[in-house]
């Protein structure tokens, strides 16, 4: 039986805190995974995550906050929905870098 090989695996995870974690395994046959904490720039707990592709992802959280990355999690743009500062966004559904 031949081992399965992946060209690239890229996953972003949230842990309900202010930190996003990026895991990347690039064409590795021995599946050595490297984890790197990504500072989100928010103090609210993050609840939802939707990855569009390996570069674009959106996250949502408490206080009406949402975040977007277009570079695979290296940098995050933080925004607040006006008038939603008392809301807890538990999910986000992303379609592309703008929606």
Give percent above pLDDT 90 in the chain. 22
3-class DSSP state for residue 57? strand
Dump pLDDT digits (tens) for 28-58: 555 566 666 777 778 788 888 888 988 898 9
> Residue 87: CB partners within 8 Å, gap ≥ 6?
63, 64, 81
pTM of the complete model:
0.68
Return the half-sphere exposure (C-beta side, CA atoms, 13 A cut-off) of residue 53: 6
């Amino acid at each position: 039986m031949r081992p399965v090989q992946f060209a690239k695996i890229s996953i972003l995870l949230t842990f309900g805190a202010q930190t996003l974690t990026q895991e990347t395994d690039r064409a590795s046959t021995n599946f050595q995974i490297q984890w790197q904490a990504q500072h989100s720039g928010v103090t609210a707990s993050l609840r939802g995550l939707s990855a569009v592709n390996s570069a674009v992802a959106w996250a949502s959280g408490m206080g009406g906050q949402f975040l977007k990355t277009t570079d695979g999690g290296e940098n995050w743009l933080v925004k607040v929905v006006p008038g939603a500062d008392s809301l807890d966004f538990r999910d986000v559904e992303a379609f592309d870098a703008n929606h």
